[in-house]
Amino acid sequence: MRFEQLHGRISGQGERIVILSHGFGTDQNAWAALRPWLNVHFRVISYDLAGAGPDGAVSYDFERHGTLFGYADDLLDIMNELAIETCIYIGHSVSGMIGAAAASIRPEPFHKLVMIGASPRYLNDDHYTGGFDQPDLDGLFESMAANFQAWAAGFAPVVVGVPDNAAIDEFSRTLFQMRPDIALNMSRTIFQSDMRGVARQIERPTHIIQTSHDMAVPTDVAKWLNGAIDGSTLDLIDAAGHLPHMTAPAEILGVLEGRLLPGNNS
């Protein structure tokens, strides 16, 4: 079963289901600071993306996961296996677009989507600021291929974006855990993708959360998503870095409480 292969985990005591999907370079342990609160209010499901986790190479397929739709298929497979009829989906970084892809294929089970630091396109384009030009990405891929360990050691603190040694250590641990060729292929899939068309197709209530400064995702990207997804909300939180669920969990939980708990009208 895909859920077992991807180290699926279920916790919590609520009636409503939340699915957590992490970003590149982390694994499901990235949700540790949010999970206790979520467990009180929801039945919480998490898993490791293919290629991530302690034996990610077993779950990764270079063809299937050559596009984000392969990861979306994994998500939908898990939902089928667990007979999930409705859920709130929370995706960090690339998993924001993985959720968007899954919801474009089968929107009905997605009661709400929450995207933390998500980007539909990392490359700059006419009238679109993604944050990177192609030479930037070419240099990143070359560095990964030349010396993955050295690249990861430098990449982790820059992405964390704040002087949080515990978060840097944890992000470094999960980056180093990835097989270098899989990490390189996954990064190419993510950074060269263009999911703007998919984002425009989202018809489910969507909440976008973005830090004020993120080296991977400019605030202009979050504003673009907010404009592209009809009826979406955007919360710009007073925090920095690309991993606020690890480095600023109180700010993330404040948004989730307002957006997800019964009784709010957002």
- What are the sequence ranges of the domains in the chain? 2-260
Catalytic residues: 93, 214, 242
Query: In this predicted model, which residue has the larger pLDDT, 54 or 90?
Result: 90
pTM of the model: 0.97
Integer-rounded Cα radius of gyration of the chain? 17
**Which pLDDT tens digit goes with each residue over 174-228?**
999 999 999 999 999 999 999 999 999 999 999 999 999 999 999 999 999 999 9
pLDDT surpasses 90 at 128? yes
From residue 117, alpha-carbon distances to 147, 169, 188, 241, 251 in Å are 27, 20, 18, 9, 13
Whole-angstrom Cα distance, residue 210 to residue 191? 18
| Mean of per-residue pLDDT scores for the chain | 97
Query: Is the sign of the CA dihedral 145, 151, 152, 153 positive or negative?
Result: positive
Cα gap 153→62, rounded to integer Å: 25
**What angle is formed at CA 102 by the lines to CA 101 and CA 107, rounded to 5 degrees?**
110
CATH superfamily of 2-260: Alpha/Beta hydrolase fold, catalytic domain (3.40.50.1820)
- Distance CA(25)–CA(140), nearest Å, equals 14
- Tell me, what amino acid is at 46? S
DSSP-derived pairing of the beta strands 87-92 and 17-21:
parallel
Q: DSSP secondary-structure letter at 210?
A: E
How big is the chain, counted in residues?
266
Q: Are 86 and 60 in contact (CB under 8 A)?
A: no
pLDDT of 52 over the 80 cut: yes
Whose tokens are 């690890």? That residue is 246
